[in-house]
Structure 1
Amino acid sequence: MGSTFHGIIAFALLAGLLVIGSLLRSRLGFLRASLIPGSIVAGVIGFALLSLGWIPGYGPSDFTTLAFHFFTLSFMSLCLTGSPKPAVGEARQGILGGGLWLTLIWTASLGAQAVIGYALMAGYDLLSGSDLSPLLGAIVTHGFTQGPGQALTYGTIWENDYGIANAAQVGVIFASLGFVAAFVVGVPAARYFLKRGMNANRESTLDDDFIAGFHKPTSRPSAGKQVSHSGTVDSLAWHVGLLGLAYVITYVWLTVMQPLVGGNQVLSVFFSYNLFFIHGLTVCVLMRLVIDRCGWADKVDDDTLKRITSGSVDFMVVATLMSIQISVLASLLVPIAIVTVVITLVTFLGAMAIGRLSGRLGPERAVTAFGCCCGSTGTGLLLLRMLDADFSTSVPKELAFFNIAIIVVNIPTLFFIAPIAPTLSTWQYLAIFGGYFMLMLVCVPLLMKWQRSRGVSNASLQEANPS
């Protein structure tokens, strides 16, 4: 039985580090003041322990897989959650409009990050005399806006098929640094909005519990209701079982489809296990539709699913930070640092500027979009949780629409261009991704005009903060 423990202990390490990181975050004054989540603290500790070789028998690759699957679970559980009652600000701007704003910001970021990352790495080569591929800078857009799974996917293709050395690991490093950047910059931004009461959900405030990291015994909120009798099945086990069923359906679907599309490179990428979360998200949306149509909604507790979503995000962040290989990071530290700092600054300014135009939920969308553009949608959810603790606004549902919309809008870049990027000339690559960025800027006034036609004023952000 000893051979069966390796993967289980890897998960146990994540869980144990999450406990340690959360306790340190609640005990150390500078961590409390920063409001950085315990998952980030845990991930940094885990990365340090692995880099020092203090976790015998385990390496970064053991946690890359866990990061991928927790990322997938976070989305699947979110999409299995039922539609909320009319939410704060939802009457003024529906899920569709908010989702379009998030899609616009994300797509603009995808293009801008690719161009800037490519240019910065080419400039570094020119000034330093090194011979690095500019695509090692461009892959920042897949690490930041798409996360570790997609960065690993494209990086592996570039590395194995086109000889771009260390592309996969550099992508994972950018994804990990994206998580750090999201919280180093995103948390202060969220705190700014909270202090000024600019968030729509007034239940989310910088109270003592928020700062301490743990609720007092007298103020602990409910974590959901039990829908099944424990004599039959525990309610938590029931909800995990629903996700497990969706996972199996998705896996079988991909297993059946892969041989059928094997001759087409683009479809092979789309139906690969690396894009499992897209298919899993769709399966969960369909499952929820069946549940609601058949009158089984009383057998699903949405608050429990929200807890699974939030917990999966926490585990994903820890696992991603522990996926960094210190040797690759050390050898490329200077160019990686330059690209990371510049991309973080540009992404933040862009998300804040466009987010402010999106209506009354502008602060929530700006912070969420910045998080999504610095690692994954899971990061955006973590930052959103600061402004909307119980996910009562429409923004979480906008994220579900957004995750489908960004795939549709970016099919040319993600499925046709990204896999074969090393075959393109410099100007071809820059024209394609730069063109997408410019197209999104053109769409900003068009979306504002459509927004006004629905009776949503651009001044509504200020209306949310009359002071």
Structure 2
Amino acid sequence: MNDSFQGVIAFALLALMLWLGSVLRSRVPWLRASLVPASIVGGVLGFLLLSFDLLPGYSPGDFTTLTFHFFTLSFMSLCLTGKAQKSDALGGGSIVRGGMWLTLAWSISLGLQGVIGYLIVTGYDIVTGSDISAWLGAIVTHGFTQGPGQALTYGGIWETEYGVANAAQVGMIYASLGFLMAFIVGVPIARRYLRKGFNANQASRLDASFRLGFFTSSADDGEAQAPTMGRMVSHPGNLDSLAYHLGLLAIAYVITHLWLTFMQGVIGDASPWGIKLGVLFSHNLFFLHGLGVCVLMRMIIDRLGLGHRIDDETLKRITGSSVDFMVVGTLMSIQFAVLYALLVPVLLVSIAVTVASLIGCVLIGRMSGKLGHERALTSFGCCCGSTGTGLLLLRMMDADFSTSVPKELAFFNLAIVLVNLPILMIVAPIVPSLTGGTYLLIFGGSALFFTACLPLMWLWSRRRSVSLNSWTTATRVSSVAGAPRSDLSKGAAS
């Protein structure tokens, strides 16, 4: 039985780091002021403990597998969650149009970051005489725009299938630095926007609960009241509701595993045009196939009228918890030796990508019109971390999510996959098999294509806004013209 505890204690250490991170965040004044999430605080603490060998018997590799599966769970539980309920919002126009602005910002960053990373490492090799693989620069886009899960996924494929040494580790390092950059740069920008009153939701503010990281026992003095965690679906005398929802995820996990195993047997070693089809159906891409399985499961459940048997808030808590464990696991999976050996090129790439992403997101946010500041900050968080990072930065300007941007972000999550499907599903797994010129043509061409779409998107948004304003004005005029005289008198008197 002793051997079985290695993985269990590794999970317990992740949970312990999260707990310690939350305590430090609430107790240390400068951590409260920085608003850094407990997952990052705990992850950095765990990384230091491992680097100084203060967790005997454990190494960064013990946390890599856990990180991968928590990332997969976060995506699958998110896709099992149903559509958000309609509610009044401080709108910024069509949710689809707003979501498309976010999608364009992310899609441009996906291509641009890969090109920047590849060119910087290539230039670094020329200047210093080093022999670092340029693909270790290219993988930055999967660490920054997509987060640790995809960085680990694609890095693992590049490493095992194409011999790119340390690709998974470097991808994880980029993902960790992306989280840090999002908060180091994003939080001061959010504060500046708040001080200047750029936020549409003027009720949004940094209250004590936000800074402390814990809700107070009451909602006195205007503090945010602690929300509920969802409703019970199954009777506790039969089955606990949390176990029931975990069981749904388990079903999706098993179906995805069986699907991949079946397809691997069908495809075998087929490599048309030099593309290893087996790579596209490897378990390293479990999250992509699992995403599809969960979407289909939810569609079938809703079509059968069984949506009441799922509590979306419970699934959101599973998603949020998985993201927390994923972030702390990402930081604890970093091998200090790899980081030290590649510190200079990794920092150069990270800084250049952060600056480029910030400039692009701010400019696109301004083009998007109303709620542009919220979109700029949200898209920057998504391009330097994950959707969760973008939501956290957005919450600083829209604490109760009363604008339309959160709904735009929900549309964005689906749109980026559909719009970038060829790159994410076909090109990204086989990148090291491409020549440098082909890679730059594909990723650079993708960035240029979506950049060229910006003027068209701007014209479409302007035309729709003018049409909507004209329709609204005409409706008001016709309503007043058709109103009884008594109503017009009341309106004039008011």
TM over 0.5: yes
Report deviation, 1:385.
4.6
Q: Mean Cα displacement is larger for which, 421-430 or 274-283?
A: 421-430
Q: How many residues align?
A: 459
1:350 paired residue number: 360
Shift of 1:197: 5.4
**Long gaps (5+) in structure 1:** 460-467
Q: Give the letter for the 1:41 counterpart.
A: V
Which residue is 1:281 aligned to?
291
Give the CA deviation at 1:64: 1.6
1:228 pairs, out of 213, 220, 234, with: 234
SS at match of 1:53: coil
User: What amino acid is the match of 1:285?
Assistant: V
For 2:257, the equivalent position in structure 1 comes to 251
Q: Could you tell me which amino acid in structure 2 is paired with residue 249 of structure 1?
A: I
Residues 150, 274 of structure 1: 8 Å contact kept: no
* Aligned-partner residue type, residue 103 of structure 1: T
* Distance in 2 of aligned mates of 1:390 and 1:6: 41
**Alignment pair present for 1:337 and 2:344:** no
Report SS of the residue matched to 1:130: coil
Query: What's 2:315 paired with?
Result: 305
Structure 1: how far apart are the matches of 2:39 and 2:238? 34
Partner Cα separation in structure 2 for residue 11 and residue 188 of structure 1: 33
1:367 CA drift (Å) = 2.7
Partner of 1:22: 22
The CA distance in 2 between the partners of 1:179 and 1:4, in whole Å, is 32
Residue 393 (structure 2) aligns with: 383
The residue that corresponds to 2:141 in the other structure is: 141
Structure 1: which amino acid aligns with 2:260? L
Kept in 2: contact 1:359–1:456 (CA 8 A): no
Offset at residue 106 of structure 1 (A): 1.4
Aligned match of 1:32: 32
Match of residue 239 from structure 1: 245
The answer to whether the aligner puts 1:294 opposite 2:327 as a matched pair is no
Asked if the contact 2:145–2:385 (Cα under 8 Å) also holds between the matched residues in 1, the reply is yes
1:235 deviation in Å?
2.2
Q: Which residue of 2 aligns with 1:153?
A: 153
Cα deviation for residue 173 of structure 1 reads 1.3
Cα distance change of structure 1 residues 390 and 269 upon mapping to structure 2, 3 Å threshold: farther
TM-superposed CA distance for 1:74, in Å, is 1.8
Distance 1:329 1:458 in 2: 53
Spell out the pairing of 1:94-173 with structure 2 (5 A cutoff): 94-173=94-173
CA deviations over 1:237-293 (Å, ceiling 9, x no partner)? 222222222222222222222222332445433322222222222222222223333
**Percent identity at matched positions?**
61
- Deviation larger for 65-74 or 104-113: 65-74
Q: For residue 252 of structure 2, what is the amino acid of its counterpart?
A: A
Matches within 5 A, 1:34-49: 34-49=34-49
Mapped partners of 1:221, 1:33: distance in 2 = 23
Distance 2:177 2:350 in 1: 7
Report the Cα distance in structure 1 between the residues aligned to 2:316 and 2:168, rounded to whole angstroms: 32
Amino acid at match of 1:22: S
Distance of 1:149 and 1:274 partners within structure 2:
10
- Do the aligned residues in 2 keep the contact of 1:176 with 1:320 (CA within 8 Å)? yes
Give the letter aligned to residue 228 of structure 1.
S
Letter of the 2:310 partner, please give it: V
Letter in 2 for 1:261: I
Question: Per-residue deviation at 1:202?
Answer: 6.2
Q: For each residue in 1:152-181, what CA deviation from the matched residue of structure 2 results, as whole angstroms up to 9, or x when unmatched?
A: 333334334444332232222112211221
- How far is 1:89 from its partner? 4.5
**Unaligned segments of structure 2, at least 5 residues:** 220-225, 470-494
Give the Cα–Cα distance (whole angstroms) in 1 for the partners of residues 73 and 114 of structure 2: 27
- How big is the shift at 1:423? 4.2
What is the rounded CA distance, in whole Å, between the counterparts of 2:395 and 2:245 in structure 1?
A: 21
Paired residues of 1:83 and 1:397 also in contact (CA < 8 A): no
Counterpart CA distance in 1 for 2:466 and 2:340 is 49
> Aligned in 2, Cα 1:80/1:194: closer, same or farther, shift over 3 Å?
farther
Q: Cα distance, 1:386 vs. partner?
A: 4.2
Supply the AA of the counterpart residue of 1:176.
S
Q: Secondary structure at the match of 2:130?
A: coil
CA distance 1:303–1:356, shift in 2 (3 Å): farther
Query: 1:181 aligns to what?
Result: 181
The 3-state SS of whatever aligns with 2:367 is coil
Which range moved further: 25-34 or 104-113?
Answer: 104-113
Q: Summarize deviations over 1:301-345 as a string: whole Å, max 9, x none.
A: 222222222221111110111111100111111111111111111
Q: Which residue in the other structure is 1:414 paired with?
A: 424
Corresponding residue number in structure 2 for 1:325: 335
1:452 aligns with 2:430: no
Amino acid at match of 1:25: R
The answer to whether structure 1 residue 370 and structure 2 residue 380 are counterparts is yes
Which amino acid in structure 1 is aligned with residue 237 of structure 2? G
Range moving further from structure 2, 128-137 or 334-343 = 128-137
* Cα shift at 1:390: 5.8
Q: What is the aligned partner in structure 1 of residue 66 from structure 2? A: 66
Distance 1:30 1:319 in 2: 24
Question: Match of 2:483?
Answer: none
The alpha-carbon deviation at position 192 of structure 1 amounts to 3.7
In structure 2, give the amino acid aligned to 1:351.
C
Preserved CA contact (<8 Å) 2:90 2:402? no
RMSD: 2.7
TM-score (norm 2): 0.85
